[in-house]
Amino acid sequence: MKLLRFALLAFALVGTAALQADPVAAPAPARARTSPHETISSRVDGNVVMLVYGRPFSKDPKSGELRKIWGNLVPFDKAWRTGSDEATLLITQQAIDLGGTVVPAGIYSLYTLPAADGSAKLLINKQYGQWGANPYDEKTEFAHVDLKKDTLATQVDQFTMAIEKNPAGGGVIKLAWETTQFSVPFTVKK
């Protein structure tokens, strides 16, 4: 029952995130989403972790042509909203240690900062409800953590995120697109 209440609260917050991101600002006009959206969640060590994100395709929605993702569609050295349309949401019921940074229970936006050398950082932002990534507001950044990069054997056509249990304990958040997968481990703080 507690999980059901948490999930309903999270979905309600996601729906009103744009209004609560800046209580002084007038509600933003509705914007057309360009990609399908997904909400995923996992219970890891008694904690529910949820991600809400847009899932763009490698193919251009207008021309159907295959796009180069890393370094082109997702530019190097610029904060990317880790998906499409609204910035990706991370919702955690309890505090977690995400890549060496303690993130208190709550709602955060996730951005990715890829570099030309193949490395990337996950930017954890205290503000949520932002559309896109420009301009990225460093003043509301909570922390940034290093992502581990792996090369995938098969092409991933649609941006995909996952929350998986880590055999070593805790969990792992994964981001996969094109032939690249980035990941970061987390543990639940007791």
Considering the domain boundaries, does residue 43 fall inside one?
yes
Considering the domain boundaries, does residue 88 fall inside one?
yes
Considering the domain boundaries, does residue 31 fall inside one?
no
Considering the domain boundaries, does residue 58 fall inside one?
yes
43-52, 67-76, 133-142: which has the minimum mean pLDDT?
A: 133-142
- The total of structural domains in the chain comes to 1
Prediction pTM value = 0.83
- pLDDT reading at 23 higher than 50: no
- φ, ψ of residue 6 in degrees (nearest 5): -60, -45
User: Of residues 118 and 20, which shows the higher confidence score?
Assistant: 118
Considering the domain boundaries, does residue 13 fall inside one?
yes
Tell me, what's the pLDDT at 17? 40
Tell me, what's the pLDDT at 12? 42
Model confidence over 90-119: pLDDT tens digits?
A: 999 999 999 999 999 999 999 999 999 999
Domain of 105 in residue numbering reads as 2-21+37-188
Using alpha carbons, list the distances in angstroms from residue 176 to 41, 86, 154: 17, 18, 11
Share of the chain above pLDDT 90, in %: 66
Considering the domain boundaries, does residue 96 fall inside one?
yes
Tell me, what's the pLDDT at 150? 97
What distance in Å separates the CA atoms of residue 182 and residue 177, rounded to the nearest whole number?
Answer: 9
Query: 98 with 186: CB under 8 angstroms?
Result: yes
Q: 64: pLDDT confidence band, cut at 50, 70 and 90?
A: confident
Query: 174 with 161: CB under 8 angstroms?
Result: yes
Model confidence over 128-139: pLDDT tens digits?
A: 888 765 678 889
What are the structure tokens assigned to 27, written together? 């509600």
Considering the domain boundaries, does residue 26 fall inside one?
no
Query: At residue 130, what is the residue type?
Result: Q
